[in-house]
Amino acid sequence: MKLYPLKFTPIFKYRIWGGEKLKTELNKKYTAENIGESWEISDVSGDETIVEEGSLQGKTLKELTQQFKGDFVGHAVYEKFGEEFPLLIKFIDAKTPLSIQVHPSNEIAKKRHNSFGKNEMWYVMQADTNAELIVGFDEKLSTGSYKKHLENNTILDTMHHENVKKGDTFYIPTGRVHAIGAGVLLAEIQQTSDVTYRIYDYDRVDAKTGEKRDLHNDLAIDVIDFETHENYKTAYQIEKNISNELVHSPYFKTNILEINTNVEKDYSNIDSFVIYMCVEGSVEIIVENESYKINNGETILLPAAINFVSLKSENAKILEVYY
């Protein structure tokens, strides 16, 4: 059976802070309320996305990796991760703020949860006026002063708040305390992990359960990086119709392409799958004379066996993600 560019059926997640933008801005189809996340490509146990169309329709990400191995994920990727797909791809809509949170490293996540750690990045797709992200600290804290701020509910005062607009990009390594603020719609690329330690949650009650959500401060305390940094935002430049580096980390590489013509891509030197997330406009993807299309808010995966791709658009931006 032949591999081809694959769209997956998204998994929609209720969140206490979720809104309507996945529907109104990204044209996602669902009826539930407070949907905060669209899991586009996921191998998280119990939340595996399945192929939407074509001869492989109905197969999960896991089944594709098992069946096609290196031809699907890349031979080096398969050698390193086996049947574990290394990335989780999402769109996130925060109508109200997310909890202040932190993610553990690979080593700690493996030991405590038998999971990958959760290094991640954000690309802002839309932001309301004065919307902000919270990333890292603005003042140097000791463990003791941090605990005091937690007790006094003043932890927000110590953190770095940044007003954001479309196109702003942040890399969030494990250990960096962070939160998405109200009014932000973004694309998130992360390791395959659902391990989050909540530090502070505004004392709010989840309408679904009638209870406050659990905090994980005992687990979080030895994970947090208390270092302060001058800049938390990722600086980048865009030259049209080529891949521009956005975030290259040991866990994933993400480029941005702004396309207004026909672009030929040769992936023969990348031993990895490639994921396109459309973050503006729409793009036609041509592989072996077959045409596929993604619109703003859609995602497609190119198996590693596909080396040559033509991209056509009059005006689009896509994130290009690979291992």
Which positions make up the binding site for Zn(2+)?
103, 120, 178
| Catalytic-role residue among 176, 198, 204, 213 | 198
User: How many Å apart are CA 61 and CA 74, to the nearest integer?
Assistant: 14
Binding-site residue ranges: 103, 120, 178
- The CA-based angle 259-262-268, given to 5 degrees, is 95
Longest dimension (CA), the chain: 62
Check residue 216 and report its DSSP letter: -
| Measured CA distances, 7 to 115, 219, 290, 293 (Å) | 26, 37, 14, 10
Distance CA 37, CA 51 (A): 19
198: annotated active-site residue: yes
Three-class SS state of 52: coil
Distance CA 142, CA 148 (A): 10
Of 30, 41, 159, 34, the closest CA to residue 90 belongs to: 41
**Closest residue by Cα to residue 259 from 287, 234, 286, 281:** 281
Structure tokens, 219:
């687990």
> Do 295 and 315 form a contact (C-beta atoms < 8 A)?
no
CA distances from 223 to 101, 117, 146, 249 (A): 11, 11, 13, 19
CA angle 182, 188, 194 (to 5 degrees): 95
Decide the pairing of beta strands 132-137 and 47-48.
Answer: unpaired
As annotated, the active-site residues are 198
